[in-house]
Structure 1
């Protein structure tokens, strides 16, 4: 597979190959994207009719890249007579400076050509390989090429301008240039994308930043955010690098909402550059000790878009928290239900959990009081619409068999929930971690009811319901002969008995009986689930196990961070540290940036983690994983107005020092050290 290079600035991102070229691809989406629409589908450079080869790519910053190219393949003892440098930056649109350098002692004439096209494809069309053809119109004007698309009131436009004279046609620009000896020729190309609204104006113009920022503005804003994050000093270089990379990526993944005057965290590039309920809240839990300012916007927007009606098309129900919000053509014309879509059974309890954790860290009772009504609605949904069979469990089954998600837990691919022999259960399904989330949501809401909402009777009821759920769960989900929790219950109440990583989420939620926690920990760190790099999503002896199956054997960094947190909660500090250290070691092979997922091959087999072929990178909850693992290693836990620090650092990691941890206590420092170092 080609190596892909990406740059992003919140609302806008670009994915291309290592030469800087964009070509339509079904393997992975390349192009210039904004708000779920591809504004450039072709951007292909040739010199005298030949494609170029890469010497080096400078991609240190997430919003700008530089490509060093030559006509021939790089080789030893080769002195290229010409080279090309493409310097590009993103900020609402795209700016590229193209320079051709003549390294000879005589004048040379070149023909520089850039093929340009915009199919204005919706991201869903690209992902599902059902793109329409011949969608856009092109017109050549003085120093610019205009590409447009209209469908009723849906109107998008791309305009490419050049600073140097060019022959412009409907497919691109041609430059005939003469370059003196040891000199260079250059042009600046500026790409403007327009998302037209009802008044035939770019709707992004009303955003606080006007939809466009300079490189200097982007750098200044991100630097301010990064400088406010705690400073890490660490002897273990992979962890330190992963932390810095994560902080940078999380700032880059922020985007401006079209509908609300707020900056939100996008879930991940390239498929999920939008608000996701589950992803946003789990990422919020990961980043709270480090960048609490990133969290309130997600809670406010998710509460504002909380379900109010029964809508089968969108899987909407009163009190339910959304799964995904999209802005593209297919959502606008209701070819997809994502405007927004509510097909997730876990987003609603996770909302309650995040609000409580936010209050515990920040002490921001003003916002938490404002969210009391959405909290009550969310808990009502758990007990009513969420309990499809009236058994006291949280179930899911889509209301929309045509376009709704089959699996509405975090493992949302079609075959992720299976019996041990590989068979798939019918619907509805009640996965185990959903019950843990529901239990935790009730326990946390009870705390808020007592300490913030002044409703002790409600708190008593929630605690009683949580205790009943815990007892019922440990009776019905426990598989005694294997000493583990079933992945799910099927519609008949029978065990969906696959051995999977979901048990780690149960530890995090606190629903596991203390007497069974050691058996769960042993499974999670046993050879069937633990690859040496992390916990697999599915054990190796299960019928659907595949080390490169999306949810059927791969290792997910976010999943492992939650599992480590759960192990820590039950006192398995050594096991939690083992996962954290392995994940940090894995990050070395991804330049510090943990991807969405990587293969579940045994560490002894590969010696390095193998990235999942189409993994999102950067992805918010993968970027959040090193942060949560730092919390686990240092034993950070808010208690009242104080932060408890109880470190347990694995052997070989040395010193970990985290300075200026923000919270309701102000700022404090934490220090941990391997006991054997």
Structure 2
């Protein structure tokens, strides 16, 4: 997301504007008012006496509430202005904007205030493709003091109703106010945009049956969320800022799916492209946030179990036992032009579901949920055996059933060119990426624990452990690239090695599938010059044919990726190496105002001196938000051990001390503290 963009959101409704508060369909980054994968407002442009406005400052009051301070013309060439403008905007499913004109003269002043309004009702997939072609009918009409912008295609109906608390001259392209403001006085109006669905009610109400929340309710909810979170104190200001920012962003990204039986929410993936259910992203974020917000994991498990695959469906890449990839509610999904209603094209969500279930129990002791999730977890494990193992060799493979609109790569690096040989060639299908085998191993080991302790099925536990041991042995034989001394990125359709060096090998560490004798060799690659930039580990190593420091999955640095790599290094006892990665990512937060983006450039730290922005990265993004939480857990060595919280800290060189108070878990609340041996003393607040 462009750093000039301003975002506010409430669940599945969000606004992206420029720093003056305007929205423009032709902007270099996607702006507008969005809800349920449809852009309801594409133009929202304010002018005063025919002149557009420039920002003095933008005040992000809350994630759903922003204030813009503006003057006519460009604030870059600012001279004393006789007038200033304040736009105070809130999104609570609908949008409200309080517009205030301030006359700084000692004499009355007259102004023409114009608000241009337009709606293209673009589907999120149309915007991503860069081609907006509507097949339904768009209409605009003035209904008294209401401007109605409508779109209809059969039973799919969306409408934006725009009103003002002060009467205006309304036409089909917006509204105009001819105003007179007294000396040193103000003029104010409240602008509202109602987002309406097929039955004329708020689109959220029409789809979910749940009422729209008020601003006061949102404020109380955020206050309660922050009050429940553990308190962090440290001498590192970058970490402190990022922790606070991440807590608020994670609150903002909470999403209540239509399938939820109550108002409990799970993490959506990120803004602007992925404000919906994403199985993989929600699972990873819930894992990261377990020591800080364990309730997210419970909601994620519940929702994903309800939507678990039950049949073969080639269009949706669905198979029995498979955990979904993504759900969309826009026009293209409604008319099955995209398979996302829901779509199951990911090979990792099913094993990760079991991993999250076990880790959640280890932290919380919530045996009730574990027993309720027994059959969804068994079905996910059976998917690994029956459908994931497409070649019958014990590995997890993927190939899209939907070869038209489905995803080619169904691993976390799901862009088309992310899986390649060292020489840049792309393998055929099916493909078996290395981290999928690690997730499968981990899921079998954790499933065995759950079966033995909670499902009263020791025979099944023994079977899973045998399968896991066999998988680990064969994996360390078949994936090991002997002349490079690392694990192959994948196996190709012939069983040959896809021999590129990538960050995927770091995920093998936290899964536990790596032979102990090879751990330091893998760590050497991860912290070596081909993969490590000084800020973090690249997705693809420098020297690989497809390497590009600003390629989406072929050379950028992903904070989420690095947080799990650091956790994996810590699992194998490599504390210093884990701290080196944690330190690099935490240093990077300073350049993003504490908000880690989806990805940033894979340039060497010494070359650029700062992390280079990836131009279309989501921000905020859930698993980048969660990265800080997992890095804190890793640095402090926080691990559950029965009804105790074990703390075994090792901090990077630029963090002297770190304290987390009231960590929730099966132990109730516990504190974690770490201090470097060379740090003289601690003055905790």
Asked if TM exceeds 0.5, the reply is yes
Aligned-partner SS, 1:546? coil
1:601 aligns with 2:603: yes
Task: Answer whether contact 2:141 2:172 (CA < 8 A) is retained.
Answer: yes
Name 2:37's counterpart in structure 1: 36
Task: Answer whether contact 1:207 1:256 (CA < 8 A) is retained.
Answer: no
Separation in 1 of the partners of 2:38 and 2:202?
A: 14
Question: For structure 1, which segment, 116-125 or 65-74, has the greater mean C-alpha deviation from structure 2 after superposition?
Answer: 65-74
Separation in 2 of the partners of 1:205 and 1:399?
A: 35
Question: For structure 1, which segment, 402-411 or 77-86, has the greater mean C-alpha deviation from structure 2 after superposition?
Answer: 77-86
Name 1:97's counterpart in structure 2: 98
The alpha carbon displacement at 1:557 in A equals 0.4
Cα displacement string for residues 304-339 of structure 1 (whole angstroms, at most 9, x for unaligned residues) = 111111100000001100000111111010000000
Separation in 2 of the partners of 1:549 and 1:233?
A: 36
Name 1:12's counterpart in structure 2: 13
Separation in 1 of the partners of 2:49 and 2:137?
A: 30
Name 2:462's counterpart in structure 1: 460
Separation in 2 of the partners of 1:459 and 1:391?
A: 21
Separation in 1 of the partners of 2:311 and 2:497?
A: 33
1:168 aligns with 2:183: no
Separation in 1 of the partners of 2:429 and 2:36?
A: 34
Name 1:223's counterpart in structure 2: 223
Name 2:492's counterpart in structure 1: 490
The alpha carbon displacement at 1:253 in A equals 0.8
Of 568, 571, 578, the residue aligned with 2:570 is 568
Separation in 2 of the partners of 1:11 and 1:404?
A: 23
Separation in 2 of the partners of 1:27 and 1:66?
A: 22
Task: Answer whether contact 1:123 1:328 (CA < 8 A) is retained.
Answer: yes
The number of equivalent residue pairs is: 675
Cα 1:144–1:77 change in 2 (3 A) is closer
Aligned-partner SS, 2:620? coil
The alpha carbon displacement at 1:654 in A equals 0.8
* Structural mapping, 1:382-397, within 5 Å: 382-397=384-399
Task: Answer whether contact 1:137 1:147 (CA < 8 A) is retained.
Answer: yes
Aligned-partner SS, 1:444? helix
Name 1:584's counterpart in structure 2: 586
Separation in 2 of the partners of 1:249 and 1:85?
A: 25
Name 2:413's counterpart in structure 1: 411
Separation in 1 of the partners of 2:27 and 2:433?
A: 33
The alpha carbon displacement at 1:430 in A equals 0.3
Cα RMSD for the two superposed structures = 1.5
* Structural mapping, 1:138-157, within 5 Å: 138-157=140-159
Name 1:177's counterpart in structure 2: 179
Name 1:427's counterpart in structure 2: 429
Name 1:65's counterpart in structure 2: 66
Name 2:255's counterpart in structure 1: 255
Task: Answer whether contact 1:652 1:674 (CA < 8 A) is retained.
Answer: no
Name 2:683's counterpart in structure 1: none
* Structural mapping, 1:225-304, within 5 Å: 225-260=225-260, 261-262=262-263, 263-304=265-306
Separation in 2 of the partners of 1:188 and 1:302?
A: 40
Task: Answer whether contact 1:651 1:676 (CA < 8 A) is retained.
Answer: no
Name 2:509's counterpart in structure 1: 507
The alpha carbon displacement at 1:209 in A equals 8.9
Separation in 2 of the partners of 1:76 and 1:152?
A: 50
Name 1:106's counterpart in structure 2: 107
Cα displacement string for residues 198-227 of structure 1 (whole angstroms, at most 9, x for unaligned residues) = xx6546337899442222211110110111
The alpha carbon displacement at 1:132 in A equals 2.3
Task: Answer whether contact 1:119 1:135 (CA < 8 A) is retained.
Answer: no
1:212 aligns with 2:215: no
Cα displacement string for residues 557-597 of structure 1 (whole angstroms, at most 9, x for unaligned residues) = 00000000000001110000011111111001111000000
The alpha carbon displacement at 1:647 in A equals 0.7
Separation in 1 of the partners of 2:299 and 2:670?
A: 25
Separation in 2 of the partners of 1:210 and 1:467?
A: 48
Task: Answer whether contact 2:267 2:286 (CA < 8 A) is retained.
Answer: no
Cα displacement string for residues 290-312 of structure 1 (whole angstroms, at most 9, x for unaligned residues) = 10112211111111111111100
Cα displacement string for residues 651-673 of structure 1 (whole angstroms, at most 9, x for unaligned residues) = 22011010000001111001001
Of 469, 472, 475, the residue aligned with 1:470 is 472
Of 635, 640, 643, the residue aligned with 1:641 is 643
Aligned-partner SS, 2:150? strand
Separation in 2 of the partners of 1:595 and 1:201?
A: 35
Separation in 2 of the partners of 1:650 and 1:538?
A: 25
Separation in 2 of the partners of 1:399 and 1:459?
A: 32
Task: Answer whether contact 1:276 1:324 (CA < 8 A) is retained.
Answer: yes
Cα 1:396–1:208 change in 2 (3 A) is closer
Separation in 2 of the partners of 1:292 and 1:135?
A: 45
The alpha carbon displacement at 1:108 in A equals 1.6
Cα displacement string for residues 621-668 of structure 1 (whole angstroms, at most 9, x for unaligned residues) = 000000000000000111111111111112220110100000011110
Aligned-partner SS, 2:189? strand
Separation in 2 of the partners of 1:222 and 1:87?
A: 19
Cα 1:453–1:25 change in 2 (3 A) is farther
Separation in 2 of the partners of 1:26 and 1:190?
A: 23
Name 1:447's counterpart in structure 2: 449
Separation in 1 of the partners of 2:312 and 2:86?
A: 55
Separation in 2 of the partners of 1:322 and 1:178?
A: 57
Task: Answer whether contact 1:26 1:126 (CA < 8 A) is retained.
Answer: no
Task: Answer whether contact 1:196 1:202 (CA < 8 A) is retained.
Answer: no
| Structure 2: 5+ residue stretches without partners | 680-685
Aligned-partner SS, 2:75? coil
Task: Could you list the structure 1 runs, at least 4 aligned residues long, displaced by more than 6 angstroms after superposition.
Answer: 206-209
Cα 1:374–1:290 change in 2 (3 A) is same
The alpha carbon displacement at 1:2 in A equals 6.9
Cα 1:75–1:396 change in 2 (3 A) is closer
TM-score (norm 2): 0.97
TM-score (norm 1): 0.98
Name 2:188's counterpart in structure 1: 186
Cα displacement string for residues 10-56 of structure 1 (whole angstroms, at most 9, x for unaligned residues) = 12100001110001147432110111111111101111111111111
Aligned-partner SS, 2:6? strand
Aligned-partner SS, 1:15? strand
Aligned-partner SS, 1:52? strand
Name 2:482's counterpart in structure 1: 480
Separation in 2 of the partners of 1:203 and 1:586?
A: 39
Aligned-partner SS, 1:535? coil
